[in-house]
Amino acid sequence: MSGIFVVAEHRKGVLRDITFEMLKKGRELAGASGESLTALVIGKNTGAFAERIAASADTVIAIDDPKLENFNGEIYQNILSAIIDEHKPLLIMIGHTAAGMDFAPGLAAAKNIAITTDCVDLKLDGQKLTAVRQLYSGKINAEISFKPAESYIVTLRSGIFPPEPSGTSGKLLSAACPDFPESAKRFIEYIEAATGTVDITQADVLVSVGQGIGDVKNIPMMEAFAQALGASLSCSRPVVDRKWLPQERQVGSSGKTVKPKVYLAVGISGAFQHLTAVKADIIIAVNKDPRAPIFNIADYGITGDLLQIIPKLQDAVLKLKGGN
């Protein structure tokens, strides 16, 4: 058994955040267990990816081949099968994404390796792995202990760990693409999921509203406030359930995970299912209930009637913009 392996994910020439999120957690696990951290990059023209990832891993193995230009789950499975045979990694970390879930379960079955998916945390005690998953829409965290084994496979949920480089300078290695049978799958095209008029996952500032705003007639006021701040408008699940805003605006375990610089929660009590999907640098809460759970994690809080507070905040913002 040797080391922790992270399978880098990229799409249309761009490394995805989940790669660096896994490397961040992988570095933590490697430091606690004394294992090395290796990143595996598969594709065509992977040199730039490998150099960037080298800042977060001890070793980067790049498998570069023209026939790997487009993602194919069967090919990834065959390549990783050969990697496992050669390196016998203790832990293989894969993103819990459409791509990762295309090949991770099949790889585990083919290699007879224990797997758990959609993890929100991992712990290594020596070579004993414990994974944390959420059950019942995030109401319960379940710890899953593995029996001792040579290797384990996990998929990690996106947006859980901060995608920060560790500042290391890993070794860059090249590996030949192993021979494998011709895949029955054929790449046709990328079809991106519809994000609607606004993609809240990419917003730097979010004004997020909950059922505490009282009525759908108050949505225009919140839209105007968000516009004054140069923010996007998002919401909690009860707002979507009441059809005050579309589902594409929902933040939470059954919605989207967001990572803005500033998250302004208005009329949101702070249920765990909502807070688990908020990875903001600064959280500001406005709520009339001083005991609302949102205040336990907020950096700044305002207690009072939001229908009076928001217009005053908006006026202050507009005055600052006007230079008054």
pLDDT tens digits, 88-136? 999 999 999 999 999 999 999 999 999 999 999 999 887 889 999 988 7
pLDDT in tens, 12-22: 889 999 999 99
Of 314, 301, 313, give the one whose Cα is nearest residue 268. Answer: 301
Pick the range with the lowest mean pLDDT from 26-40, 79-93, 108-122, 134-148: 134-148
pLDDT of residue 211: 94
What percentage of the chain's residues is helix, strand, coil (to nearest 5)? Answer: 35, 30, 40
Given a cut of 60, whether residue 324 has pLDDT beyond it is no
Rounded Cα distance, 5 and 93, in Å: 6
The predicted model gives 244-273 an average pLDDT of 91
pTM comes to 0.77
pLDDT of residue 323: 59
Second CATH level (architecture) for the domain 4-175: 3-Layer(aba) Sandwich (3.40)
The architecture that CATH gives domain 200-322 is 3-Layer(aba) Sandwich (3.40)
For all residues of the chain together, what is the average pLDDT?
Answer: 90
pLDDT tens column, 271-323: 888 988 898 999 999 999 999 999 999 999 999 999 999 999 999 999 888 75
Ranges of H-type helices in 112-229? 219-229
Inform me whether the pLDDT recorded for 196 exceeds 90. Answer: no
CATH fold match for the domains 4-175 and 200-322: yes
- Give the chain's length: 324
**Closest of 303, 267, 297, 261 to residue 282, by C-alpha:** 261
Question: So where are the chain's domains?
Answer: 4-175, 200-322
Residue 193 pLDDT class (50, 70, 90 cuts): low
Confidence (pLDDT) at 32 = 86
